[in-house]
Amino acid sequence: MYCTGYSKKCGTSLLKTVKVNTIEGDNVFIGIDVGGTYTDAVLTDGKSILRKHKTLTGHDNLLPSLLEALDAMIEGQDISLIQRVVLSTTLITNIIAERKYPPVALILVPGPGLNHGEYKYNTLTHIVSGAIDYRGREAVPVGRGEVSRAGEDIVKKGFKHVAVVGKFSGRNNAHEVLIKQILESEKPGLTVEMGHTVSGQLNFPRRIATTLLTCATREAFSGFVKSVIKSLAERGLRAPAFMLKADGGTLPLETALKRPVETIFSGPAASTLGALSLSPKGQTSVVVDIGGTTTDLALILSGEPLLAARGAKVEEFLTHVKSFAVKSIPLGGDSTVVVREGQIRILPERQGPAFCMGGKAPTLTDALVYLRKAEIGDREKAIEIMEKLAGETGRNSRDTAGEIVTMACQTIVSAIEQMFINWEQEPAYRIWEIMQKTKIRPNNIVGIGGAAGGIIPDVARQMNCTAIIPEHAEVANALGAAVAQPTVTISLRVDTERGRFTVAEDGSTGAVPQGRLFREEDAIKLARERLFHLAEELKIKDYVKKTEVVHCEVFNMVREWTTTGKIYDISIQTPRDILFYLGQEETVDD
């Protein structure tokens, strides 16, 4: 049995579920992506795709779509062979976009710096006195009375959730901990979220936003995760289950509860990882996902998906959530085409489906269908609308359709060029970073989405690249989830003059020996220990085998002309790789 390609037919099951006899004794993996429009699922043994499934996502409740996809994967399958299940969902995206979360009040400890009026988060915000400096020293103690009064007001105004965030709380969390204690003892009904546990990375406003969103989405996320865990148990699935994060890593379901916001934007991560799995290992590729209204671009640099330099923007909030650098351009198969003053233009908007699919206006898809670069809908209708457009351009319909496709290619090519330029222009703070960032251009253009086959070969030709339109591209997201692995990163700051260390990722702190006794190798060893400690907390210790030092900086602290200590800034992580590459292999075909 062979699975036919992408279909635009809108029905419950868009693809026949492919069933292939599983080779006995072989391990299998399940990936499910519950996206905004479609839910995809794959069952794979790491060499080929054994089953795939695609349905429309039921919007109001994601669980039935997820379970339908899951059932399609396990029906008749020996579930004892299933090694793991990885889920990617738009749950958090939906909750935040639709504001289906309880109100959260803020208690902030900004101290000196930006005017306090700059902290606008559209919710009840109390600013209390207190200050921690850049090295984690207390400059001003917390105003306890102010905290009590704030708690009083928050409860009076009907809030049940509070996010407590202090400037430099990643360097010293004492103020946040104290405020939580005061609130919990005086107002037992309040749920308090502390900033340093969400992110200890520098950037106070982003930490406020991320903590606020974590606090806001935790309940709904927890409800969903519990239902999923229950459903898995009901099916007798004992394989570990994971959630995909925006940075392409995964977390076990239970620990994802701690960090719900990190699971936002897992869709683009899933599609990038899927494309990575379907393209040659170790190369530099651009993933072009052409949808109905937008085209998403992602970069894979020497086999590693590029992470955005700064945290993701979630609705109006700038956050600390690490995500892939994905650029979205307003061009898709359903983009409307018009002729103005004899000139063809592709509008950055959708007025409905393609003309050949029963729509009203000509689209990019119609041009592709006319040119036989796509097989979809009613070609007679595509010919009809291209001839009508040709009447307006004064050229024949073949040239008109050709120009539309050329323009779409041009738009994509220049967006890709711009993305590389932006990457080259990302701020760098060290000499070696500036010296080494040389001009890199891709080897491959990997096309995903209905219109990819008609456009990507031209884009690749213009950029002197190899075009890859992978088999199974329509379930690339699910495949991306299936191949994603748990990852852990630790950003350690050690201040030997103060004898303290802090970890940005989980806000943990502790003591180190003061002075010269603590050397660079000790600092790296400590970073490794903290990484394993965090991995254990996240229940992914079994996956952590190797670690790599991403960067290590040592600053001599000199006071009055003598060295009084050292500051170490160390980042260490588990290698970023996916579980397996399917490359360009053919599907098992019977």
Partner 1 sequence: MIKSDKTGLVFFPAFDWAITPTHPERQERLLYTRDQIFEEGLMDLPRIREYKPRLATFKDICRTHFCVPGVKDQVTHAHLIAAGGALVIADALMAGEIRNGFALVRPPGHHAMRVVHGNRGFCSINNEAVMVDYLRKKYGLKKIAIIDTDVHHGDGTQDIFYHDPDILVISFHQDGRTLYPGSGFTNEAGGPTAYGRTLNVPLPPGTTDEGIHYVLEKLILPVLDDFKPELVVNSAGQDNHFTDPLANMKVTAQGYARLNEKLKPDIAVLEGGYAIETALPYVNTGIILAMAGMDYSNVVEPDYSPEKFILSREKKEWIEKVVAELTAVWERRDAIDIEVLRAKSEYFQRQKTIFYDTDGINEYQTEKFRLCPECGGYLAISSQAYHYNGIQHNILALSIPFNGCHECREEAYAEYETGIGRKIYDYVYFQDRVSDTYRGYSREKDREWEE
Number of residues that bind partner 1 (CB under 8 A): 42
Among 168, 221, 324, 501, binds partner 1 (CB under 8 A): 168
Check binding of 63 to partner 1 (CB under 8 A): no
* Positions 317 through 376 that interact with partner 1 (CB under 8 A): 318
| Segment interacting with partner 1, rule: CB under 8 A, options 24-32, 63-71, 73-81, 116-124 | 116-124
Among 49, 131, 504, 535, binds partner 1 (CB under 8 A): 131
* Positions 412 through 441 that interact with partner 1 (CB under 8 A): 425-432, 434-435
In whole angstroms, how close is the CB of 557 to partner 1 at the nearest point? 6
Check binding of 549 to partner 1 (CB under 8 A): no
Of 24 and 561, the one with the shorter C-beta distance to partner 1 is: 561
Run of H or E residues at 144: helix 144-156
Among 555, 583, 584, 589, binds partner 1 (CB under 8 A): 555
Check binding of 567 to partner 1 (CB under 8 A): yes
Among 22, 48, 125, 203, binds partner 1 (CB under 8 A): 203
- Residues with Cβ within 8 Å of 2's Cβ and at least 6 positions away in sequence, in order, are 18, 587, 589, 590
Cα separation values, 586 from 239, 274, 289, 446, Å: 28, 15, 21, 16
CA 205/CA 203 separation, integer angstroms: 6
Burial of 402 (0-12, 13-18, 19+ CB in 10 A): middle
| Segment interacting with partner 1, rule: CB under 8 A, options 201-209, 322-330, 405-413, 508-516 | 201-209
* Pairing of the two strands 125-127 and 489-495: unpaired
CA 286/CA 276 separation, integer angstroms: 10
Check binding of 29 to partner 1 (CB under 8 A): no
Among 24, 316, 341, 560, binds partner 1 (CB under 8 A): 560
Burial of 443 (0-12, 13-18, 19+ CB in 10 A): buried
| Segment interacting with partner 1, rule: CB under 8 A, options 241-249, 346-354, 439-447, 553-561 | 553-561
Among 10, 23, 97, 114, binds partner 1 (CB under 8 A): 114
Structure tokens at 300: 């894979």
In whole angstroms, how close is the CB of 21 to partner 1 at the nearest point? 54
Angle between helices 144-156 and 174-186 (to 10 degrees): 50
The answer to whether 13 and 53 are in contact (CB under 8 A) is yes
Check binding of 115 to partner 1 (CB under 8 A): yes
Run of H or E residues at 125: strand 125-127
Of 67 and 312, the one with the shorter C-beta distance to partner 1 is: 312
Of 161 and 322, the one with the shorter C-beta distance to partner 1 is: 322
Annotate each residue in 93-112 with x if it binds partner 1 (CB under 8 A) or - if it does not, as one string: -------------------x
In whole angstroms, how close is the CB of 111 to partner 1 at the nearest point? 9
In whole angstroms, how close is the CB of 483 to partner 1 at the nearest point? 33
Burial of 472 (0-12, 13-18, 19+ CB in 10 A): buried
The answer to whether 404 and 454 are in contact (CB under 8 A) is no
Sign of the CA dihedral running 479, 580, 571, 171? positive
Burial of 407 (0-12, 13-18, 19+ CB in 10 A): middle
Of 79 and 428, the one with the shorter C-beta distance to partner 1 is: 428
In whole angstroms, how close is the CB of 119 to partner 1 at the nearest point? 10
* Positions 132 through 161 that interact with partner 1 (CB under 8 A): 133-135, 139-140
What are the residues facing 343 on neighbouring strands? 340
Burial of 155 (0-12, 13-18, 19+ CB in 10 A): middle
| Segment interacting with partner 1, rule: CB under 8 A, options 151-159, 196-204, 466-474, 529-537 | 196-204
Site of interaction with partner 1 (CB under 8 A): 112-118, 131, 133-135, 139-140, 167-168, 202-206, 310, 318, 425-432, 434-435, 553, 555-558, 560-563, 567
